[in-house]
Structure 1
Amino acid sequence: MTLTWLDEPTVDALRAGLRVVAPKLADGAIVTRGLEASDDPQWCTASAVVDDRFVVKFAWAEPPAQRIRHQVRVLNALRTSAPGLPLPEVVAASDSPAMLVTRRTPASPFFGVRHLITPADPEVARDLATVLAVLHNPAVLKSVSEAIGPLPEPAAHATTDTLRARLGPLIRPGQRDRVLSWCDWTDDILAAPARTVLVHGDFHGDNHLWDRDSLRLRLVIDLETAGTGEPEFDLRCLPGDCGIPLFTATLTQYEQLSGTKLDIDRIMAWHLRTVLGDALWRAEAGVPLPDHRTPAEWVDDLDARFTALSTFDRP
């Protein structure tokens, strides 16, 4: 089917699309999220909650429409190849217009419950490790690839060359040599080949949802950048999102469940590119960092994580 998308970022356009994709929802109560005009077609996308029971993802440009179609295909393939994964229930999906409707699950993003979780909580670590170990099973990559064809390769926010060239003015002078040496180290670490698996591609704390009472993982969402990569790439957000004790507990559980070793240096190399890349684009775009601090303070955080990991002993 030909891929199309909405004409404009309006609720009226969304209702018109729903009349094609899910007619019973077209006249429901709609609460939009991220419905803003953008000069960059890459970000012409948003979501909405309908009648407090359904989540709709939609686009008004081709790049995000392609991502929606890709996510639908990945979800359909994973239903067969990894039925144990806690994935959204697809209610309706379409290429024309590109739209994905899933059933809403009462749950909170990890960032919304992180303050309730004790460091190195074994059940939380096991839940995180389990979904990643299942996703990274080589048989899952084989099955998904056979179902939907060639897969993209997700990338970190910025290259080390970009960080070397542009981050310096945003941090303290005394930090610049440290960042340059980190970039050199990252290049050396990631130059070696790694295993290839199916990766989520964007496994940060807004993309795994948790029950606030039991503190158990309920849902993994937003697989629109799922593709081929190394397992370490998918763990790159955990040192910052979880803190080092929970990150290392998750790493240990993952290795026990999967029977494979993870390279902590590779995780931290990807972590560095992701954290500093995020700080760079936000600062240059005039967008506040999520915790409303500065790129220099994020460099301090990275330094503290590297120091904490230097004393980590594998079981």
Structure 2
Amino acid sequence: MEPTWLGEPTVDALRAALRAVAPDLAEGTIVPRGLEPSDDPQWCSASAVVDGRFVVKFAWSRPAALRVCHQARILDALGKAAPRLPLPAVVAASHDPAMLVLRWVPAAPFFDVRHRIGPAERDGAARDLAAVLAELHRPATLRAVSEALGPLPEPAAPATTDVLRARFGALVRSDQRARVLSWCDWADTVLAARGRTVLVHGDFHGDNHLWDGDGEALRLRLLIDLETVGVGEPEFDLRCLPADCGVELFAATVAHYEEAAGTSLDVDRLMAWHLRTVLGDALWRAEAGVPLPDRRTPVQWVDDLAARFAALGTFDEAGGASRPA
């Protein structure tokens, strides 16, 4: 069924759509998030909290509407295929207009609680991260979701190394440019062969897993924003963790993942995807005049990346490869 979508990005248009999809919520207090016009139809979507109890996802373009509908189908299929995953509870879903109503959960994004993860909490947090990813990546999960939904998309890949070679050098110090070029050559070699295929979240960063931080121990409470779920390799799904978690929590998560999944991860592949993701994010933000999430600079991000590579033994502090690609 071809979806429809809101005619404009306004609270009034959302309220009118709720009258058709979830009438009990239509007259509630609506607090929108990300409700700004966009010149790119791909990003004409937003969410809103209604009465502090529900989250509504909606769109005002066809590409964005398709993503909302994809997330609704994924949540339905995953709920049956992997019931142990901490997924949002669906209250209502609609194609006409494209809308998804989820029950709101009192939990915080990982980015808001990661400062609380010290040595004593590290193992528990790593276990939670690993358990969610290993469950999502089980062959049986991919098989069941594919049988329910048919062919699945591949999530959008980060910036290519060709793009980074051509444009990233303008953002950094002269001494960093040769290092970035060397990293790109290394990433091309590492990613030359295709990895194994699993069901991936596609955008597993610290805003897309929520944690219960009220008690003594932090626990991963909810996996959210599943609009990018598709087929990819497990290393692609873990590519944000080295920066989001720090090297020690990342390494602990890899160890617990391999134990839970019964299979190994190729850390070089993971770091090659990490390289493209980090530098690609810095590139588009700098070129668009959008601040980096931590308000730092591409120069600082390259230094951070070099430190992570050195800590993991991928490259030494001078930028030379510590082991062959």
Which bracket does the TM-score occupy, shorter chain normalised? over 0.9
* Distance in 2 (alpha carbons) for counterparts of 1:293 and 1:53: 35
The match for 1:245 is: 248
Secondary structure, counterpart of 1:291 in structure 2:
coil
The match for 2:319 is: none
Shift of 1:156: 2.9
**CA deviation profile, 1:126-160 (whole Å, cap 9, x unmatched):** 00000000000001101000101110111332111
Match of 2:274 among 261, 271, 276: 271
Secondary structure, counterpart of 1:121 in structure 2:
helix
* Distance in 2 (alpha carbons) for counterparts of 1:129 and 1:224: 21
Runs of 4+ in structure 1 off by over 4 angstroms are none
The match for 1:262 is: 265
* Distance in 2 (alpha carbons) for counterparts of 1:269 and 1:155: 16
Query: In the alignment, does 2:318 pair up with 1:287?
Result: no
The match for 1:186 is: 187
Counterpart AA for 2:11: V
* Distance in 1 (alpha carbons) for counterparts of 2:282 and 2:152: 28
* Distance in 1 (alpha carbons) for counterparts of 2:289 and 2:63: 24
Secondary structure, counterpart of 1:47 in structure 2:
strand
Shift of 1:192: 1.6
Counterpart AA for 1:191: A
* Distance in 2 (alpha carbons) for counterparts of 1:292 and 1:235: 23
Secondary structure, counterpart of 2:292 in structure 1:
coil
* Distance in 1 (alpha carbons) for counterparts of 2:62 and 2:188: 33
Segments of structure 2 that go 5 or more residues without pairing to the other structure are 315-321
* Distance in 1 (alpha carbons) for counterparts of 2:43 and 2:144: 30
Counterpart AA for 1:285: A
Percent of residue pairs identical: 73
The match for 2:206 is: 205
Query: In the alignment, does 2:122 pair up with 1:121?
Result: yes
* Distance in 2 (alpha carbons) for counterparts of 1:19 and 1:193: 47
* Distance in 2 (alpha carbons) for counterparts of 1:218 and 1:226: 19
Counterpart AA for 2:15: R
Query: In the alignment, does 2:110 pair up with 1:146?
Result: no
How many residue pairs were aligned? 312
* Distance in 2 (alpha carbons) for counterparts of 1:64 and 1:2: 13
The match for 2:46 is: 46
Shift of 1:64: 1.0
Secondary structure, counterpart of 1:167 in structure 2:
helix
Q: TM-score, normalised by structure 1?
A: 0.97
Q: TM-score, normalised by structure 2?
A: 0.94
* Distance in 1 (alpha carbons) for counterparts of 2:273 and 2:50: 37
* Distance in 2 (alpha carbons) for counterparts of 1:2 and 1:165: 39
* Distance in 2 (alpha carbons) for counterparts of 1:193 and 1:99: 35
Counterpart AA for 1:165: A
**CA deviation profile, 1:228-271 (whole Å, cap 9, x unmatched):** 00000000000000000000000000000110000000000000
Counterpart AA for 2:135: V
Within 5 A, what are the aligned runs for 1:1-315? 1-119=1-119, 121-213=122-214, 214-310=217-313
**CA deviation profile, 1:286-309 (whole Å, cap 9, x unmatched):** 000001111111000000000000
* Distance in 1 (alpha carbons) for counterparts of 2:268 and 2:62: 37
Shift of 1:62: 0.9
* Distance in 2 (alpha carbons) for counterparts of 1:288 and 1:157: 18
The match for 2:318 is: none
* Distance in 2 (alpha carbons) for counterparts of 1:133 and 1:98: 30
Segments of structure 1 that go 5 or more residues without pairing to the other structure are none
* Distance in 2 (alpha carbons) for counterparts of 1:304 and 1:2: 48
Secondary structure, counterpart of 1:205 in structure 2:
coil
**CA deviation profile, 1:73-106 (whole Å, cap 9, x unmatched):** 1110011100000000000000111110000000
